[in-house]
Structure 1
Amino acid sequence: MKQTWLRNVRVETHYLKHEGFTYGAGTEAIDVKMANGVVTEIQPHDRLKMEKEDVNGRAYLLLPSLREMHCHLDKSKLGVPWRPITPAKNLVERFTSEIRELDGLSLSLKDRARNLIDTELANGVTFFRSHIDVHPRVGQRYLEDVQAVLQEYEDQLDFELVAFPQHGLLRSEAYGEMKQALQSGVQFVGGVDPASLDGDVKRSLSQTFELATAHQVPIDIHVHDRGENGRETVRTLLDYTKQSGWHGKVAISHAFGLNDFAGEERAEVFTALAEAGMTIVSSVPINGNVPPLEELRSYGVNVLLGCDNVYDSWSPFGTGRVLEKLNRYAEIFRLTSQEQLTNALQLISGQPLALANEESWLKPGMAASFILVEASSTAEFVARQSQIKASFYKGCRN
């Protein structure tokens, strides 16, 4: 059994307050024993002499490792010479030309996927959810390349793959290719704009849920539509989730149309999303389309963040730093207090910190996956995008 001690790291234990104002977080110096990928022991620092084989945490703050909850490992152009995106008149022209553009690059899909993975690993990510194009125009080849690359990283990260019919499930007649992808072990069914792209919300979502229930996998569907198209899609998703017994197994990525519910219907839909255990995944765009994410959280809806585009055919932007997305989120939604900034980390870590209860998030038996950061607190890390000094995945340093 491989054992390692991580010595002299700090964990937050409580908030620091003065006359009702929370101005920081109290920390405790600890040593963490890791064996077979899990935390096996936690003790105050300096109880034992540091041995040569121990890892010195240098009093850095220990935080949960980060999760990239929405990316496209098959689409990034990282590693090829810079070019701005090619103009496109509409969505269909964009995704039609994308195949030709990506296939003509000087760097293979595998190498470009490695570049994106390496970039995110360096920024503290040890978990990826990636949508991979699966439809008749590309068959299974993008998926097979990504699966082969991910095997190379089995000691550095966990992942979920989403079979993604980029050209529309109905529009491109992708059902057969989607089924084949799920049979090969893909963990999620994807989809995109069943109203505006497929032109038939009920039929598109019926096939999506049919694939999900037949293969016992969750759903993560892109919904960019606004107005009545967006509202109809959300309402139908809620109906089908309930009918299928798919509670806690449906995520909506982007979900811009949630802005368009108003009055009593808004409260009813947001309550229903929470009751159905639905997750909203956002890349926090700054084009005015950000859904009302903090309001959704206030209803108990689970919200997660991802980078989405990182220099691809759709956008020249993106750094592969999910912390940057959280920082933007905090600024947009005016999360400025110590408590708000601390609680926001859950959006990119999946791990609540529970400082209000004066409990440490770090427990024996949990996976030894975490980051060391140069910050006094989680709030400072989020607000100032503090430097990540080290990242561990199941006890091994990335």
Structure 2
Amino acid sequence: MTQDFWLKNVRTEIGFHQNEAYVDRTDTKMIHLHIKDGVFSEMIEDATLIPKNSQQIDGGGQLLTPALVEKHCHLDKSKLGVPWEPIMPAKNIVERFESEIVALNQLALPLKQRAKNLLNLEVQHGVTFFRSHIDIHPKVGLSYLEQVMDTLNDYDKKIGYELVAFPQHGLLRTHSQQLMKDALRNGATFVGGVDPATVDDDLEGSLMTTFDLATEFNAPIDIHLHNRDDAGRETIRRIIQLTEASQLEGKVFMSHAFGLNDFQGEERQEVFTALARQNIGIVSSVPLTPNTMPPLMELKSYGVKVHLGCDNIYDSWSPYGTGNLSDKLARFGEMSGLTSQTQLTQALGLVTNHQTALDEQGNISWPKVGDDATFLLTTASCSAEFVARQIPVTLSYHKGNQIL
């Protein structure tokens, strides 16, 4: 369907206001945007120039911000919509994921409805784009992937998504190489992985297979890394080396990456610099356990692209999770001591794929003519207030399609 309408009377941020001591507010102005074929095709300040016979949506003076991007969720795992039950104890990660398949498959509510519940929950809080990891395992084949894709099709392309073929039970351990290929031929767009040194017990073989799959299918990688100390450091170093050797710069992500805490001194500088040079992204779910979350702000200072995601939401791994990405962002901001107007404005980029209305110097960086018409409206006075006070989202669009 051809999109052609005007979004009028919305405020956009135009710069920081500096008093004698500090930035005390963000200045805004009222604009009107012509949205056509999924992009901002015109931006004007004079509402009288809007054609009288055009379709118009009145933003009511609300703030326009980039839409939220969920970089880490599991649409196949959530138990949203089923009666409360505590998580089953597990002695280790292997016992946890072995019991998970049985637990999920016996739920009264089918995967498709549980996935839809999670999508709707996150959409309600402003997410318009999802990256979801989908279990690929001999006991489930491609069934989880197929059901998630079927769920997403119900949204008629109104939301964006990336699907990670995720061999959580071990790529080599479960002999899932062929299944991974099948998944990548049938809808998955990323190659996943998890703790190759301990789950597969073969760091080199597991990583080589992962990168071979990425090369064969020209697919990005998003690998979960929980290992610490020697195993964690060795895994991270080898991923950096293979990223360069495979010419996958900008196409590799490390989720969790707890081992980044264990680099010290010159080695720390070397590794963080290499991550930035290879444009390897770090995705964190903002764990509260001390000395677990990677040093995201330090990594950011090296030029590493860091992102936040919700991860577990009421599943076999955790009874917690709100499905509110803004909640994760506010938690991170509080833990990291982000309190100034400029810091909070930039923090929004952690959940928008680094898109912010203003850059660090306060120059306008979004929206611009030609940008995708993917945005939120909120009653917040500025991005900083939206981040710190978690002001609700009232309207959201993805490439010109209304979602919320």
Q: TM-score, normalised by structure 2?
A: 0.96
Which residue identity lines up with residue 82 of structure 1 in the other structure? W
The aligned counterpart of 1:349 is: 352
Taking the aligned partners of 2:278 and 2:146, their CA distance within structure 1 comes to 33
Q: How far off its partner does 1:397 sit?
A: 2.0
Question: What does residue 19 of structure 2 align with?
Answer: 18
Show the counterpart of 2:226.
224
Match of 2:343 in 1: 340
Matches within 5 A, 1:1-398: 1-48=2-49, 53-288=55-290, 289-350=292-353, 351-355=355-359, 356-398=361-403
CA contact (8 A) 1:8 1:45 kept: no
Contact 2:224–2:255 (CA<8 Å) still a contact in 1?
Answer: yes
Which whole-Å deviations, capped at 9, do the CAs of 1:220-266 have from their partners, x for residues lacking one? Answer: 00000011110010011011111111111110000000000001100
2:47 counterpart SS class = coil
Which letter maps to 1:37?
Answer: G
Q: Is contact 1:11–1:360 with CA below 8 Å preserved after alignment?
A: no
Q: Determine if contact 1:6/1:32 at 8 Å carries over to the other structure.
A: yes
Q: C-alpha distance in 1, partners of 2:166/2:363?
A: 42
State the SS of the aligned residue for 2:233: helix
Cα shift readout 1:250-304 (whole Å, capped 9, x = no counterpart): 1000000000000110000000000011000011111121111110000000001
User: Which residues of structure 1 form unaligned runs of 5+?
Assistant: none
Alignment check: 8 A CA contact 1:7 1:45 kept: no
The amino acid of 1:86's aligned partner reads M
SS at match of 2:48: coil
Q: Provide closer, same or farther for how the CA distance between residues 2 and 353 of structure 1 changes in structure 2, counting only shifts above 3 A.
A: closer
- Displacement of 1:354 after TM fit? 2.9
Q: Is the 8 A contact 1:11 1:28 kept in 2?
A: yes
- Three-state SS of the structure 2 residue aligned to 1:177 is helix
Counterpart Cα distance in 1 of 2:156 and 2:234: 40
Shift of 1:393: 1.8
Superposed CA deviations along residues 39-98 of structure 1, whole A, max 9, x for unmatched, are 111111533477794211011100001100000000000011111111111111111110
Question: Residue type matched to 2:24 in 1?
Answer: Y
**Structure 2 stretches lacking a partner, 5+ long:** none
Q: Percent identity?
A: 53
Alignment partners' CA distance in 1, 2:229 and 2:34: 53
Q: Distance in 2 between matches of 1:146 and 1:379?
A: 34
SS at match of 1:341: helix
In structure 2, C-alpha distance between the alignment counterparts of 1:190 and 1:153, rounded to whole Å? 25
Q: Distance in 1 between matches of 2:350 and 2:374?
A: 16
Instruction: Please say if residues 3 and 400 of structure 2, whose CA atoms lie closer than 8 Å, have aligned partners that are also in contact.
Output: no
Matches of 1:13 and 1:392, distance apart in 2: 22
Query: SS of the residue aligned with 1:195?
Result: coil
TM-score normalised by the chain length of structure 1: 0.97
